[in-house]
Structure 1
Amino acid sequence: MFGTQQPAALPPAPDQASQPPAAPRRGLLERAVRGIAYHLVWRPTRWAVTTEAKRMWRNRDLHTPWWTSASVYVTATMAHLADVPWWATMPALAAAVAGIHRYLTKHDLLPVAPATVTGAAGALAAWATTTIQTGTLTIPAAITWGVLTLATTAAWGLDRRARHWRRVRARVRASVRTLPRVLAELGYPRVIVKGQPRVSGSGRVEYPLLLPVGITRHKLEKILAEIESGMHWPAGSVREIVQDPRHNSAARVILVQHETSITARNVVFDPPTIPATAYDPVWLGTTDDDQPFYATPFKEGYGALHAFLAGMTGSAKSNLLRLIALLYAHCPDLIIWVVDLKSGGVLYRELLPRLDRLAVTPRQAGEVFADLAAMVPLRAELLLPEHNQTLPIGIYPGMLVLGDEVRGLWGKAAVKARPQVLADSVKVLSEIRAYNAAVLAATQYPNQDSVHPTLLPNFTDAYVGRTRQRADAQHLLRGWNRLDTTQLPAGAFYHQAAGQDGTDLIWTPEVTDVQLAAVAADTAHLAPTLEEATASRLPHYADRWADLPDNLIPHLSEQQALLLHEARARRKSTTLRKADLATAAADDRSDRLEVSERLDIPAEVILAEITDPHLRALVAVHLSPGLVTTAESNAAVEPHRSRQWASERRAAWQGRGLVESPAKGKWLRIVGEERFVSEAQKAEEEIRARRASPGETPDTDAGETPP
């Protein structure tokens, strides 16, 4: 009894009447109807809502014309049914068109001109106004609406630039979702893409970012390569990370990315505005996001700003200087001086009638800066208390000095040969800004061999074109290691102003000689003159045209040609007077010596004094007027003498001040024929004496055999 387990008590059986009745079995017809409804209605509807709706949303940029047109049609229908008068719709539609134009211009959402989109919207508004009056539910109105919609949609779908823009937009949407995750994997979590990225037709994308505590813009700049790799972007496509100009918080930055590498652009010379005064901004081209770029070398109440241009051969530095000179030629309150040590004045000869001065040799360039240095205290005398230490343009003309290839003036070798030029240049660049004189200089490499290091800090703006190495931009651009200047095409420049962290990438238009000649003819009468109180006291200003090369004289204006002849006559008279005084001082007689005429000695007679036939041939080539190329000089002594032999003689002549090299591979004699022959023989004697000294090799080369 105690060892037997008793079974558990079972619950009482439920009441059969309380259980719900079983569902009746569906019939065959009902099951067939439900199956047809599920497969033919519900599944297509669910597929359309889930799959096709998502696809349409992803491709919503393609459907923009259709949705816009449908919205206009529905609005017109409702207005017609509400009996809205047509005269009330016109102001509303005009305001909508103006709003569309403003929105497109501000945000740059479409790869087409805002005026074109505004014109299409205006045509659609005119159609809507007509249909509101006549009725939108009529067959002609529906047919017209359908034709316009189909044509617009087809054009929008087939246009090449529109297709490119839609692809960029789709890629941007994917990048917005991926970028925060990539940054988190790189150790920078909680970075948010704050707002809609801005997409331009050129492929430039600006991602607005909100940075959390502990992450700064400078930290992100160190991992640009890792960001490109994680996002599967092309190398170098992240241009920069800059402060968001719409916010003053340091946590709001913009990551600028370009889908393709920097390629050449054909910028048409079509400036939106032409400067009328020196204070007006000058158009230099377009930016990376197709916006016009303006420079302001002169600021009212502040003075002038200096700018430096750098870039290897072919980067279009000279073209940029010609563009600035061409546009500022329209200003009647601006004097333009040009120092062209690159082409000997050929690049600016068409604009000569508008120029006030043109220097083509290092000596003439030194005279330009000597006059500018002398101008500083002279213009300081013109300051009045109401000027507030800045000479206003208008009362006195401004000065624009353009220097093309200044290595021959400010380079290491040039400064060593002419130390006074460095002192004058430092004084000019540091002090003349208050007197509205701006200096824009260009050279290939901004290093010590091309520009003395004491000069570069005085330039506030920098323009860097294509360079051989990325490090060539380190003296001009802050953050140069984030930029690849070696990939810039011709005409593209990185610009950075004083105090600017980021850079502007600009494309410049090409300037032709025909455009320069046309502008010079139209603006020659606008050229102002330097105030007499200053001009009369400058040491070299009166004779500024005396040394102009003969090949540039035909391009001068009549007034400039008259100044040239007067300066040369004045210089010739001074030379004759000095010769007369020297002759009279050497003569023991008490008679007064007067010279009324000078007989020119033929070159053959002068050359007869040189006994060495090879030296005589080399000197004869350099006695010819104008520029002599290195190839012509070497050809005069070959094959009896080598190029090294001729190069050594030319270097000795340059050291004695007999010749100058205004451009690479070109030589210009700057003294008279008699003096040149005499000094050339003295230089030859020094070379032979140096060669004959102990420890030196004899004066032989590959073209001759030692005795």
Structure 2
Amino acid sequence: MTRTRQMRRHARRMRRHGLQPMVVINSDDQLPDLAAVLLGRMLWRYRSELAPVYAGITLAAGGAVLHVSYPEWWPYLLGAASVAAWALAVLGDRIGLAARRERLYAATVALSAGAWLAAVTALGIGYVPLPQCLLVGTAVLAVPWWAHRRRRAKVRVDRQIAAWPEIAHSIGLPGSHAQSAGVDVWGWRARFALARGQTIQDVTAKVPAIESALGTFRGAVRVFPTRDDKANRFELRVLDTDPHADAIPWPGPSVASISEPIDLGPFEDATGARVLLLRRHGLIGGVAGSGKSGGINVLMGNLTACPDVVIWAIDLKRGMELQPWASCIDRLATTPEQARVLLRDAVAVLEARAASLATQGRRVWEPSPDMPALVIVIDEYAELAEDAPESVSDTDSIARRGRAVAVTLIAATQRPTQKAMGKGAVRSQMDVRVSFRVRERKDVDLILGQGMLTAGWHAHTLNAPGKFLLSAPEHDTPRRGRAYLLTDEAVADAAHRHADIRPILDEVSRTAIEEAQAGIGMRTTSSLEEVTTAPNAADDPETILWGLLAGAPDEGTPVSLLITATGMSRPWTYQRLRELADADRVTQVSRGRWHAVTEHSE
């Protein structure tokens, strides 16, 4: 044995110097030692496959010991097995058993093993047919274990991790080693420690070499900082299949309030790309056809489901993108002039809200159905800056002062250059950045911020519509997501369902808008009598509304005509009809038809 130890030490020295040791067997007494070593390595290498056998042996040994020492424990063992089986079946998802069949399998194994152990403790290991039950039960219950996809994936990962020292040496990261590894929904991830002097930037540069060494498909490897953000650590994520290869249908709204984070779509680890928009402004960028419109639809589908948000929108492509959501949008501007008025009114709202908070001694506007937040969505911001450049100062004001008063700006554009953003400070105020595919590498920094390309945010490598990178205070590492897909039918259905829950602006905001539209000192109240006599009354939506109601035929004017003629939203129209009805000035003739109350009708 002394000779064997010397040979092993010699072999280790040669390996450290990069030499291949030659094993020379001088006597037959060394053969059993070598066979034992090989057998031990094989049993360890295939420990996962042999786990049911090991469990059966352990169970038999434990039962024999308990029968001799504590035969009266069998009721407690049976009770413990029952509790464990129940816990695995009901609470197994908390320990990683996501699928129902996994939990049922674990519960069955726990109950079967516990019942057999209790029987052996009471009756003894030789009591027929307990040995036969153990053999048959082990074989039967081992089949699902051997066939399970995640177990087989874990075995494959363990073997790749075991080969990492050789891989690291071949790709130029010698000395790095794995600390932990695990399998998830679409692949696996592992945490690694780097050798002295190595950084995560060195690892990022070698991603193609890692993909080649691991035998994955191109683009399957992701490198992230670890959660503790240590400079000599990194997390490696490897995809077995691309989870974003196909479009992912929208599952429906993920929020019921603007104070909740909105789910834009799944990341590659199946977690949701959730981002909070309350008191934050957002910028969405990407080339034509990259999926910006789809991302806006996801936002609209969630925002319209929130009864504490009023939505205004600007779409200078004549409403082509946002018109399907018109029934849920309080104001939709489709011309430069309408956009100028809308943004001017938004500034008036935030100033009025700030003054109201100051008089109440409060610092922030808390959204509620009676005091909703205001979200302004601008599609193709570059067109607004070009067609209505005087409005840029208003967007700057909203971006700088809108957070505390819950006035949020969300802008979408292809390339948010300084010229496209109107030479203002809007872009610097955007806390939430969503980048779909860009054509040039430098556009990554334009959308996501300076230095993001160097930091690994490679939006130019996104290879399908809807794929995006999300940068926000809670998302500071480059993780690929894919926005949910809303078909035209899904948009129409969501808009129809959410139209009835849309709120109206609070009284403070409405009064500010009325004063902004009429001019300070020209109109101090919002009564209909003053509206009908105000200057330029022919252009006032309320004047148009009253004119249509006063001149309505006996069967009344349909609501659809009132909405079209005034250019206002359905919630606004119904709110004005309710106010007039409460004042006994209009009456509902039939469902969806109204006319003014006259002396004859009275």
Among candidates 302, 306, 311, match of residue 327 of structure 1 = 302
Give me the whole-angstrom Cα distance separating, in 1, the residues matched to 2:249 and 2:43.
Answer: 39
Describe the SS at the equivalent of 1:207: strand
Pair member with larger Rg: 1
Q: Which residues in structure 2 correspond to 1:689-700 (within 5 Å)? A: none
Aligned to 1:287: 267
> Residue 308 in 1 paired to residue 283 in 2?
yes
Q: CA-to-partner distance for each residue in 1:228-256, whole Å, 9 max, x for gaps?
A: 677777665553341x22x3654444344
Whether the 8 Å contact between 1:317 and 1:465 is mirrored in structure 2 is: yes
Describe the SS at the equivalent of 1:480: coil
Alpha-carbon distance, 1:279 to partner: 0.9
Aligned to 1:380: 354
Aligned to 1:240: 223
User: Kindly tell me: are residues 159 and 99 of structure 1, through their superposed partners in 2, closer, same or farther at Cα, counting changes over 3 Å?
Assistant: closer
User: Kindly tell me: are residues 231 and 130 of structure 1, through their superposed partners in 2, closer, same or farther at Cα, counting changes over 3 Å?
Assistant: closer
Alpha-carbon distance, 1:96 to partner: 7.9
Q: Which residues in structure 2 correspond to 1:57-456 (within 5 Å)? A: 57-64=44-51, 66-68=53-55, 71=58, 82-86=71-75, 89-91=78-80, 94=83, 98=87, 113=98, 115-132=100-117, 134=119, 146=135, 149-158=138-147, 163-175=152-164, 177-178=165-166, 181=169, 185=172, 191-193=176-178, 195-210=179-194, 212=196, 214-218=197-201, 221=204, 237-242=220-225, 244-245=226-227, 247=228, 249-258=230-239, 264-265=245-246, 267=248, 269-270=250-251, 274-298=254-278, 304-341=279-316, 344-345=319-320, 349=324, 351-384=325-358, 388-394=362-368, 396-410=371-385, 414=386, 417-448=387-418, 450-452=420-422, 454=424, 455-456=426-427
Aligned to 1:473: 444
User: Kindly tell me: are residues 204 and 135 of structure 1, through their superposed partners in 2, closer, same or farther at Cα, counting changes over 3 Å?
Assistant: closer
Q: CA-to-partner distance for each residue in 1:548-575, whole Å, 9 max, x for gaps?
A: xxxxxxxxxx86753443569xxxxxxx
Give me the whole-angstrom Cα distance separating, in 1, the residues matched to 2:315 and 2:542.
Answer: 14
Q: Which residues in structure 2 correspond to 1:633-652 (within 5 Å)? A: none
Give me the whole-angstrom Cα distance separating, in 2, the residues matched to 1:58 and 1:124.
Answer: 24
Alpha-carbon distance, 1:305 to partner: 0.8
Describe the SS at the equivalent of 1:400: strand
**For residue 493 of structure 1, what is the amino acid of its counterpart?**
F
Describe the SS at the equivalent of 1:205: strand
User: Kindly tell me: are residues 306 and 361 of structure 1, through their superposed partners in 2, closer, same or farther at Cα, counting changes over 3 Å?
Assistant: same
User: Kindly tell me: are residues 114 and 486 of structure 1, through their superposed partners in 2, closer, same or farther at Cα, counting changes over 3 Å?
Assistant: same
Whether the 8 Å contact between 1:77 and 1:132 is mirrored in structure 2 is: no
Q: Which residues in structure 2 correspond to 1:618-629 (within 5 Å)? A: none
Whether the 8 Å contact between 2:275 and 2:472 is mirrored in structure 1 is: no
User: Kindly tell me: are residues 158 and 514 of structure 1, through their superposed partners in 2, closer, same or farther at Cα, counting changes over 3 Å?
Assistant: same
* Root mean square deviation of aligned Cα: 4.2
Whether the 8 Å contact between 2:347 and 2:398 is mirrored in structure 1 is: yes
User: Kindly tell me: are residues 134 and 89 of structure 1, through their superposed partners in 2, closer, same or farther at Cα, counting changes over 3 Å?
Assistant: closer
**For residue 467 of structure 1, what is the amino acid of its counterpart?**
V
Alpha-carbon distance, 1:336 to partner: 2.1
Give me the whole-angstrom Cα distance separating, in 1, the residues matched to 2:499 and 2:56.
Answer: 55
Range with bigger deviation, 56-65 or 452-461: 56-65
Aligned to 2:562: 562
Give me the whole-angstrom Cα distance separating, in 2, the residues matched to 1:512 and 1:78.
Answer: 65
Whether the 8 Å contact between 1:330 and 1:523 is mirrored in structure 2 is: yes
> Residue 531 in 1 paired to residue 506 in 2?
yes
Whether the 8 Å contact between 1:196 and 1:208 is mirrored in structure 2 is: yes
User: Kindly tell me: are residues 159 and 92 of structure 1, through their superposed partners in 2, closer, same or farther at Cα, counting changes over 3 Å?
Assistant: closer
The sequence identity of aligned pairs, in percent, is: 22
Range with bigger deviation, 472-481 or 97-106: 97-106
**For residue 393 of structure 1, what is the amino acid of its counterpart?**
P
Whether the 8 Å contact between 2:382 and 2:422 is mirrored in structure 1 is: no
Give me the whole-angstrom Cα distance separating, in 2, the residues matched to 1:397 and 1:522.
Answer: 19
Describe the SS at the equivalent of 1:488: coil
Range with bigger deviation, 455-464 or 445-454: 445-454
Q: CA-to-partner distance for each residue in 1:567-604, whole Å, 9 max, x for gaps?
A: 69xxxxxxxxxxxxxxxxxxxxxxxxxxxxxxxxxxxx
Q: CA-to-partner distance for each residue in 1:324-371, whole Å, 9 max, x for gaps?
A: 22223332211123334458346652x443332233344433433232
Whether the 8 Å contact between 1:101 and 1:114 is mirrored in structure 2 is: no
In the alignment of these two chains, the number of paired residues is 495
**For residue 305 of structure 1, what is the amino acid of its counterpart?**
R
Give me the whole-angstrom Cα distance separating, in 2, the residues matched to 1:544 and 1:507.
Answer: 43
Q: CA-to-partner distance for each residue in 1:636-668, whole Å, 9 max, x for gaps?
A: xxxxxxxxxxxxxxxxxxxxxxxxxxxxxxxxx
User: Kindly tell me: are residues 564 and 252 of structure 1, through their superposed partners in 2, closer, same or farther at Cα, counting changes over 3 Å?
Assistant: same
Whether the 8 Å contact between 1:362 and 1:408 is mirrored in structure 2 is: no
TM-score by length of 1: 0.60
User: Kindly tell me: are residues 449 and 321 of structure 1, through their superposed partners in 2, closer, same or farther at Cα, counting changes over 3 Å?
Assistant: same
Give me the whole-angstrom Cα distance separating, in 2, the residues matched to 1:521 and 1:515.
Answer: 10
Aligned to 2:479: 504
TM-score by length of 2: 0.69
Whether the 8 Å contact between 1:469 and 1:485 is mirrored in structure 2 is: yes
Give me the whole-angstrom Cα distance separating, in 1, the residues matched to 2:265 and 2:43.
Answer: 39
Give me the whole-angstrom Cα distance separating, in 1, the residues matched to 2:155 and 2:103.
Answer: 20
Q: CA-to-partner distance for each residue in 1:159-207, whole Å, 9 max, x for gaps?
A: 56654554344223322x2365357x56xx65454x2134434224233
Describe the SS at the equivalent of 2:73: coil
Give me the whole-angstrom Cα distance separating, in 2, the residues matched to 1:216 and 1:545.
Answer: 68
Give me the whole-angstrom Cα distance separating, in 2, the residues matched to 1:435 and 1:306.
Answer: 13
Whether the 8 Å contact between 1:73 and 1:128 is mirrored in structure 2 is: no
Range with bigger deviation, 92-101 or 274-283: 92-101
User: Kindly tell me: are residues 487 and 277 of structure 1, through their superposed partners in 2, closer, same or farther at Cα, counting changes over 3 Å?
Assistant: closer
Structure 1 residue runs of 5 or longer lacking an equivalent are 1-37, 299-303, 547-557, 569-707
Whether the 8 Å contact between 1:209 and 1:255 is mirrored in structure 2 is: no
Alpha-carbon distance, 1:529 to partner: 0.7
Aligned to 2:434: 463
Whether the 8 Å contact between 1:204 and 1:289 is mirrored in structure 2 is: no
Describe the SS at the equivalent of 1:239: strand
Alpha-carbon distance, 1:518 to partner: 3.8
Give me the whole-angstrom Cα distance separating, in 1, the residues matched to 2:241 and 2:436.
Answer: 19
Whether the 8 Å contact between 1:264 and 1:490 is mirrored in structure 2 is: no
Range with bigger deviation, 508-517 or 217-226: 217-226
Q: Which residues in structure 2 correspond to 1:568-607 (within 5 Å)? A: none
Give me the whole-angstrom Cα distance separating, in 2, the residues matched to 1:105 and 1:266.
Answer: 29
Give me the whole-angstrom Cα distance separating, in 1, the residues matched to 2:268 and 2:176.
Answer: 26
Give me the whole-angstrom Cα distance separating, in 2, the residues matched to 1:545 and 1:164.
Answer: 69
Whether the 8 Å contact between 1:307 and 1:440 is mirrored in structure 2 is: yes
Alpha-carbon distance, 1:494 to partner: 1.0
Give me the whole-angstrom Cα distance separating, in 1, the residues matched to 2:87 and 2:209.
Answer: 44
